[in-house]
Amino acid sequence: MSDSNSMQNSGKTSSPEVQPPPPPGYYPPYYLEEEEFNLIDSWRVLVRYKVMILLIVALSTAAAAFVAFTSEPVYTAKVLLAPATQEKGNRLSSLASQFGGMAALAGIQLGAGGGSTDEALAILESRKFIYAFINDENLMPVLFDELWDEHRGTWDVEDEKEIPRLGKAFKRFKDMVEISKDKKTGLITYTIEWKDPEQAARWANLLVARLNQHQQAAAISEAQKSIAFLKEELAKTSVVDMRQAIYRLIQAQTESIMLASVRREYALKVIDPAVPPRIRSKPKRKLIIILGLAVGLMLAVFAAFFRDFLATQLENESSKKNKNTKRP
């Protein structure tokens, strides 16, 4: 009886245990063996190739220092400006409400002042305005001094096609200029970057002055044309009310001419004129050297690990070859 029970028990233990089927949508976990990053081994690699790392870092830093100290210095001159178009607009706002339709027929913009600030800034950056400034100041030899022979007073080029044109000068000059406007205060900063601090400050102040003169002359010319037109209309009508309205418009345009004539800062008022800067704005030598050091360090570390990787691969291949040659 005991033998039969033992046989039954042995039969029970030898039979495999049946596992229930997994539920639908279940996937057994997959374990990926990852190699641990050993800081000690990494440090040994860096120590092994320390001479190469120091050499790369030194070369990179030296190259950055060479660029920083040999680059041509650039200076920034700034003019702080404010719109100067409110005074005249306030004087003529009442007339604009009364005779706006008639003024529009005559091409008169009552209350427009010296034009909008955006219009003035657009003119300051316009091709026509900068072309005139370059020609009047004879800036072609200055902007392209690397091609200009000062002793002979001619361009030092082999082919006439290499002589810089006005369009190229406009592009170079515009790259030097920046205009920024503070949305809160409305103040405008006009900036010129150039290698000569005296010239940069002079150009910035002179361009603003030329803009005011341009806008002033345009306003006076427009008012004179309007007066001439109004006088022609005055001669054509005999209606008393119409004649009185035209007289008031002529008076308003006459006042505009008077105001424009006495206001030197017609479009933009100079709050703080440009002065020759003493400190260069470019190149930032410390920043360039620090960047050169950082880039050199990254390249050196990458080169050290890459060289160690190649060395490990060569050792593995050579060991495999040795094992194959030792086999009978």
- Residue 35 or 273, more confident: 273
266 with 287, same domain: the answer is no
Residue 74 pLDDT > 90: yes
Query: What are the tens digits of pLDDT across the range 167-214?
Result: 999 999 999 999 999 989 989 999 999 999 999 999 999 999 999 999
Domain CATH number, residue 233: 3.30.1890
Q: Is residue 13 part of a domain?
A: no
For residues 165 and 143, the answer to whether their CB atoms sit within 8 Å is: no
Same structural domain, 84 and 222: yes
Q: Check whether residue 134 and residue 188 sit in a common domain.
A: yes
Residue 277 within any structural domain of the chain = no
67 and 124 assigned to the same domain: no
Range among 17-21, 299-303, 315-319 with highest mean pLDDT value: 299-303
- Encode pLDDT of 233-258 as tens digits: 888 888 888 888 888 888 888 888 88
**Statement: residue 21 has pLDDT above 80:** no
Q: How many domains does the chain have?
A: 2
**Cα separation of 201 and 274, whole Å?**
5
Q: Are residue 214 and residue 297 in the same domain, yes or no? A: no
Same domain? For 206 and 297 the reply is no
Joined together, the tokens standing for residue 135 give: 């020609």
What pLDDT is recorded for position 160? 84
Q: Quick check: is 5 in a domain?
A: no
Question: Are 232 and 127 part of one and the same domain?
Answer: yes
Mean pLDDT across the chain, nearest whole number? Answer: 81
- Domain annotation covers residue 227: yes
Judge if 232 and 183 occupy the same domain.
Answer: yes
Distance in angstroms between the alpha carbons of the first and the last residue of the chain: 62
Q: Is residue 261 part of a domain?
A: yes
Q: What is the mean pLDDT of residues 18-29?
A: 62
- pLDDT > 90: percent of the chain: 40
Q: What angle do CA 287, 292, 298 make, to 5 degrees?
A: 125
Q: Let me know: does 227 contact 74? Beta carbons within 8 Å.
A: no
Q: Are residues 55 and 141 in the same domain?
A: no
Does any domain span residue 323? no
**119 and 257 share one domain:** yes
Q: Does residue 140 contact residue 157 with C-beta atoms inside 8 Å?
A: no
Q: Is 320 within a domain? A: no
The answer to whether residue 11 scores a pLDDT higher than 70 is no
Please say if the pLDDT value at position 76 is more than 90. yes
Asked if pLDDT for residue 7 goes beyond 70, the answer is no
**Inside any domain, residue 137:** yes
Q: Which residue has the tokens 């007289």?
A: 247
Q: Encode pLDDT of 90-139 as tens digits.
A: 444 554 444 555 555 444 555 444 457 889 999 999 999 999 999 999 99
Confidence of residue 55 (pLDDT cuts 50, 70, 90): very high
- Dihedrals φ, ψ of 80, to 5°? -95, 125
Instruction: State which residues form the domain around 65.
Output: 41-71+283-303
Selected residue with higher pLDDT from 21 and 142 = 142
> How much is the pLDDT for 30?
47
Whether residue 10 has pLDDT greater than 70: no
Spatial separation of the C-alpha atoms in residues 245 and 95, rounded to whole Å: 10
pLDDT at 125: 93
User: What average pLDDT does this structure show over 54-79?
Assistant: 93
On whether both 178 and 220 belong to a single domain, the answer is yes
What pLDDT was estimated at residue 127? Answer: 94
Residue of 3 and 41 predicted with greater confidence: 41
Task: Write down the pLDDT at residue 2.
Answer: 47
Residue 5: pLDDT above 80?
no
- What was the pLDDT predicted at 327? 54
pTM check: above 0.75: no
pLDDT score, position 212? 93
Kindly write down the DSSP assignment for every residue of 106-157, as one continuous string.
TT--TT-TT--HHHHHHHHT-HHHHHHHHHHHT-HHHHTGGGEETTTTEE--
Q: Of the ranges 8-12, 125-129, 313-317, which one carries the lowest mean pLDDT score? A: 8-12
182 and 288 belong to one structural domain:
no
Peptide bond into 23 cis (omega under 30): no
